[in-house]
Structure 1
């Protein structure tokens, strides 16, 4: 009797279709199932086929049918088409039957029902305003528009069908347990690679461990900007930069992954120079501090110039007038020419560059103005050290251009 009534509705002309449409609208626009819009006279369709297959078959272009063939399949697809036009959504299983198939068997889902349904398959897109959604075998594309009007082009690739992308991406788990590489570009792309919120409190240890499984035990994190975390731990303090926001830096770092598969560049903690003291009377103390700090440096020193210590470098002088400049290897590039590498008492690396004694003429100033002897500026000779090369400081990580991403290769 249900089949006869269903056939009558489908073939009963315009009035019958209107009645069917109102029935689906009355279902609230949710996934059509045994308790959905067909709970009345046609409800047992859902007992006969895989959940929502009649709607799925009605909207899939090409691919393998899930529902029955013949008149029964025709009626099911007719009802599925009505449901799709009147706000129905596909279940995660229905989308999986397309997205997880090989491309030559999957067919595709597009249009409004694809926009409405994708969140049932990929939970991170639930509730997002999506448009232009295309679902095919192993690949999903959509455009997300945020509340602020910024848009993001989202591309997703099935991890079992595609190699890991070279571009920034996260790894998502769909409702069927399959894993997908998610890539985003556009003005709103950062929303899909959100920076975790940490306050730097020790009580957040479990959250840090869950977000960064490979983080050193005891590490605390503090969010200091979009895509930037400040890490503190036994190894020292450093900044971590999200690969979704920044290009990979040249300075020494470790690549870490968060629980969503996003790469983070954990910068090596900067070396710390000794606590030198100011004043002429502190010369002997500073020399002793240096010997304790750099035990592998055997040459005697006569003084320490630590004016650049905040920038990661300082200089020692020797009795013969020569000098050695030390540069923190985490902040400076490898020097050109001759240099040595020393390890301080804390295990940090320093580049050491030898300098020869020299004498230079320096103008004399009083009250900020040069002093003249006739027409010439008065000058005095000053002993100094001349270095043949000075290493360049590493640049800060550059913000990434999220205007486009490169699709990964199929396996």
Structure 2
């Protein structure tokens, strides 16, 4: 099913209000197997809105409107849609009572113009607004599904989650599965899966690149749930056979959550000492509930002196190789392992930029040291981007190296 999201409101066009509704709806539809093709924003203008409606009716099967359902004269979404579809508006007494009840609950009389919100296009269903006064509207008309939602984000989100998505799912059984990968770029991933993606007819396969990671989303739909599950499993296994070394989760986990789960399963403790990442690795890890079960400590050893004092790194080593080197990264990790007696110690040192580069050491150079009781090693990487991007990519790489060890 192809969809268009239409946001109605002059305030959106003028930039007075940030359109968070489209983002939320688009993500929710995509997660449920609906292909969103267009985002349209339009002024509170009768002619323009009518034009937008006619264009959308000719190019998608699902139209979702937000905004323009209020009681004022410039709230006209329902009225223009009713006129365009030739569906007369009919007063719904149940909605009228709900609106009156809403105002009584706030110790106010219902303004006369709010009665406008109790009218529905003929043959439509109303979606209860549990927060405000404007009900949503669900219309099936000449093979199209048309949904009108209120503009206030919290009202829209509640209605979308509680009513709209379940109604859409009634049209077809929709199943999705996300494969989380790390350590491989989107273009390389698509090359490895090119024939599967191009030849697959029953399951839609799409890749989504993130910071150092790529998600593969599988979507299929139909009337027979067993058949749908079998199709999804078949494609998932085909993909798994090609790229299993890069897969870290099937449950939409973050890479740090996957590492946490592995450490917890193996009853292992970890510690971090960070230079160029400045505590980002520790920060990401401690966002996980229960992180204290496996994390001993995280320290930022930014200066040379801190590396010497906190990690017992030999000053001569820093003088000879500099603090941004394989040798110092290894010494940092080993020093932390000895100091804490954890199972794994991880260090980072590098040049996040925009300053600090030398002829032999460019911006983006990062060394990740990992020390265990039985082995120690260093991974060298060069990342592109600004300071924030380099730090984030370095943290993702660090967690990926831990993932490989813990497999």
TM-score range, shorter chain: under 0.3
TM-score scaled by length of structure 1? 0.21
Task: State the structure with more CA Rg.
Answer: 1
Report the TM-score, using the length of structure 2 for normalisation: 0.21
Between Structure 1 and Structure 2, the one with more helix by share is 2
